[in-house]
Amino acid sequence: METFEEHYGAMKQAIETHMPSADMALIDQAVDYANVKHQYQKRKDGSPYIIHPLAVAQVVAEMGLDQDAVLGALLHDCIEDTDASHEDIERLFGSTVAQLVEGVTKLTRANFSTSEQAQMENLRKMFMAMSKDIRVVLIKIADRLHNMRTMQYQTPAKQISKCQETMDIYAPLAHRLGMQRIKWELEDLSMKYLVPREYEEITSYLDAHKDQDETFMRTIQSKITQRLTSMGIRNTTYGRIKHVYSIYRKMQSQGKSIKELYDIYAFRVIVDSIPDCYNVLGHVHDLFNPVPGRFKDYISTPKPNMYQSLHTTVIGTQGIPFEIQIRTWEMHETAEYGIAAHWKYKQGSGAGSEKDFEWVRRLLESQQDSDTEEFVQSMKIDMFDDEVFVYTPKGRIVSLPADSTPIDFAYAIHSGVGNAMIGAKINNRIANIDTKLKNGDIVEILTSKSAKGPSRDWLTICKSNQARTKIKQWFKKEKREENIVHGRAAFEAEMKREGLAISALDDPEVETQVLKKLSSFDSWDDMYAAIGYGGLTASKAVGRVRDTIIRIQKAQNAERQNPLRMRPDDETALRNRHAVSGVIVEDIDSCMIKFAKCCTPVPGDAIVGFITKGYGVSVHRADCPNAANRNDPRQAARWVRVRWAAEEAQPFDTTLELDCITRDGLLLDVATVMTTSRVRVKELYGKDLPGGRSTFTVRFEVRDVAELETIRKKLLNIRDVIGSRRGQN
């Protein structure tokens, strides 16, 4: 039987050692309070109950947590097991302590059992998510550690279930939080009850070889110490046997018995500085032969759980391999107590729990390692509560986004369950389907074959994309006619709101253009149906087609009045496209090209293109009067940038008009120039004007503007030809 005095003394000593600034009077007050509240309770071995909170507080103090955590540990069973209330604790010890106790109580009440191995990670996440404050997790781990240490008083059935839970949740969490020492103890204690025969085999072997092992370890230890001391390196060096569970795992993975397993010793060298760590490594490798490939530098690359040390395996005097871990005192603290060790550095900063999370998160993020990301990710989920974990009635855990409802749960199980849902039970009570689920809730969905299917409201109630998608799918499939009516009404209302004429929708060009733009729809009805089932919102749909409708309508209006407007020509911006008829049209790979009759452009002319209705692109000279208004915004969309293809041998039609003084034979002179220039003349005629003047019009083929200019000069050299201009037909 253990006594109050024993445990109180041990706790007090731990507090004095690890948190000397703690208010001992307040701690005593909490001890008294817990003692009175638990006075009628006994531990299973008959000891007074207060021993348990004292022992848990001791572990928490040894972890180096803060005063609030120690108070929380002392009071951790008060709400669950006594008549103490949250308010009482808050009044006496402050709101932080009350929240810690409340948090531990929640975890105590939750059921962390699942039979599925694949679900362990969710279980651990749920555990973290419920804790809100990392200190709650640490107190709960300390609580479990003491319960494991006194497991012998429990029934065999309880031993098995508690030990399994410890292996599934508490030991992995302790590992993740970097608390090696606690992790090992939890594993060994669990193993003792879960695989007692193997545990017994290993421990009795170790017992039998105790003297031998100790002699071996002393020899190695003094060899290392002597060398380091002679080199002036201050060090604390000791050997130990690896913990039972890790030996067991090695035996299993290597298929060896304990007698065949050599690698059971581990030595630790603790020094003052990081440079010393590397010096020690050199000396150790000088003293013993290193095993190749076993050196690991966790100082420059810490493990995700913050662990730092140098690891090496060497061969000792009798050919026995052993591992040596080299670290500083600070690294040692971190290795033993993990996250908890870091509490020390922020003591007195008065940081609230939210900041603590931020701090933990930053700490974790600062470590670059392959699986760090995953770890940080899971910590974030835990820290920022964006997931909720609930059970099916059969005990399977379902993870959902925070604030999920039974609707989300139902669709997470199966869309058939969601579509047939008529109600839900949470923790065996009928609940509204919009109830927000809490961690650990057991959710049961009530279904009926005559259910009418989901309601449109569900889309706004549910939280998960999965549920939303499945509900939309149902509406899409089951209710097309209804969706078209709903969708059309919504779309037309939105059109009106945007000031667009609904009559535009009857224009076949509008329909073709708009549906081409919304490439997923074959008809207006398709689009209305999508809006109706919620696949597309009416405002988004109108937003996407608005410009197209405006453009087409304006183009139609404008073309009736003045068809020619254009935006500034920017040759350099043109992309190289397949040339049609020697002209490259920006953004259009292949289209019909015609050359405007008004200005008959030839290669070398600056040109622009106008998208006609039904005749492809009409190419004008940039200086053509019909292209003068192309900057008008109402028409701009129909003007496209075009340029001449680089190498084009194909000839172009062009027209020159010659101003002449009328005389006989002039037509022949012009024809002679054209013939000697070796161009093909397509048309040539003269017209007499009043006052002895006449004009000649010649339409002919040229390759480019340079050739045109040569011919023009020759023509102007003819007597009585006094002027020329590019053709306007």
Minimum Å distance from CB 112 to Mn ion? 15
Q: How far is CA 416 from CA 224, 389, 483, in A?
A: 69, 21, 21
User: Is the Cβ of residue 145 or residue 545 nearer to Mn ion in the bound state?
Assistant: 145
**Whose Cβ is closer to Mn ion: residue 77's or residue 408's?**
77
Reading the block at residue 178, the tokens are 């970097």
The binding track of 219-258 with respect to Mn ion, each residue x by CB under 5 A or -, is ----------------------------------------
Name which of 77 and 707 has its Cβ closer to Mn ion.
Answer: 77
Cβ proximity to Mn ion, 105 vs 405, nearer residue:
105
User: Which span (39-47, 69-77, 655-663, 708-716) binds Mn ion, by CB under 5 A?
Assistant: 69-77
Q: Two tokens at 232?
A: 């002036």
What distance in Å separates the CA atoms of residue 661 and residue 255, rounded to the nearest whole number? 116
User: Is 133 or 143 the residue whose CB approaches Mn ion more closely?
Assistant: 143
DSSP H helices, 479-612, are 480-497, 508-517, 524-533, 538-561
Query: Which among 2, 32, 80, 373 is annotated as catalytic?
Result: 80
* Shortest Cβ 77–Mn ion spacing (Å): 5
Q: Segment 169-208, which members bind Mn ion (CB under 5 A)? A: none
b/e map of 4-26 (b: 16 or more CB within 10 Å)? eeebbebbbebbeebbeebeeeb
User: x-or-dash pattern for Mn ion, window 554-593, by CB under 5 A?
Assistant: ----------------------------------------
| Contacting range for Mn ion; rule: CB under 5 A; set: 59-67, 70-78, 550-558, 576-584 | 70-78
Residue 103's φ and ψ, nearest 5 degrees, are -60, -45
Q: How far is the CB of 204 from Mn ion (least distance, A)?
A: 32
Site string for Mn ion, 619-648 (x = CB under 5 A): ------------------------------
Angle between helices 67-74 and 51-63 (to 10 degrees): 160
> Would residue 498 show up in a list of annotated catalytic residues for this protein?
no
The sign of the CA dihedral 356, 360, 363, 366 is negative
The Cα 419–Cα 236 span in angstroms is 67
Beta pairing, strands 607-611 & 681-689: unpaired
Q: Is the dihedral of CA 153, 193, 241, 11 positive or negative?
A: negative
Task: Give me the least distance between CB of 251 and Mn ion, in Å please.
Answer: 34
Question: C-beta of 76: minimal distance to Mn ion in Å?
Answer: 6
Q: Which is nearer to Mn ion, 59 or 617 (CB)?
A: 59
Q: Which stretch binds Mn ion (CB under 5 A): 143-151, 415-423, 547-555, 612-620?
A: 143-151
Name 517's Cβ contacts closer than 8 Å, sequence gap at least 6: 544, 545, 548
**710-716 long-range Cβ contacts below 8 angstroms, 24+ apart:** 710/677, 711/656, 711/673, 711/674, 711/677, 711/679, 712/656, 714/673, 714/677, 715/656, 715/658, 715/670, 715/673
DSSP character at residue 304: T
* Residue with smallest beta-carbon separation from Mn ion: 143
Candidates 75-83, 417-425, 588-596, 603-611; binding stretch for Mn ion (CB under 5 A): 75-83
CB of 87 to Mn ion, least distance (A): 21
Number of H-type helices and E-type strands within the chain: 29, 20
**424-443 residues near Mn ion, rule: CB under 5 A:** none
Contact in structure between 608 and 625 (CB atoms under 8 Å): no
Annotated catalytic residue, options 2, 45, 77, 81: 81
- Residue count of the chain: 729
To the query of whether residue 81 is one of the catalytic residues in this protein, the response is yes
Q: Shortest distance, CB of residue 16 to Mn ion, whole angstroms?
A: 24
Q: Is 138 in the site for Mn ion (CB under 5 A)?
A: no
Considering only 68, 143, 198, 408, the residue that binds Mn ion (CB under 5 A) is 143
The pair of structure tokens assigned to 421 is: 């849902």
**Count residues contacting Mn ion (CB under 5 A)?**
2
Contact 644, 586 (CB under 8 A): no
What's the closest the beta carbon of residue 81 comes to Mn ion, in angstroms?
8
Q: State how far the Cα of 306 lies from the Cα of 338, in Å rounded to an integer.
A: 7
Among 77, 168, 276, 605, binds Mn ion (CB under 5 A): 77
What is the C-alpha separation between 93 and 393, in angstroms, rounded? 39
In this complex, which beta carbon is closest to Mn ion, that of residue 54 or of residue 310? 54
Using the minimum distance from each CB to Mn ion, give the nearer residue, 142 or 306.
Answer: 142
In angstroms, what is the minimal distance from the CB of 18 to Mn ion?
21
Is the CB of 53 or the CB of 534 nearer to Mn ion?
Answer: 53
Interacting residue ranges for Mn ion, rule: CB under 5 A = 77, 143
**Active site amino acids:** 80-81
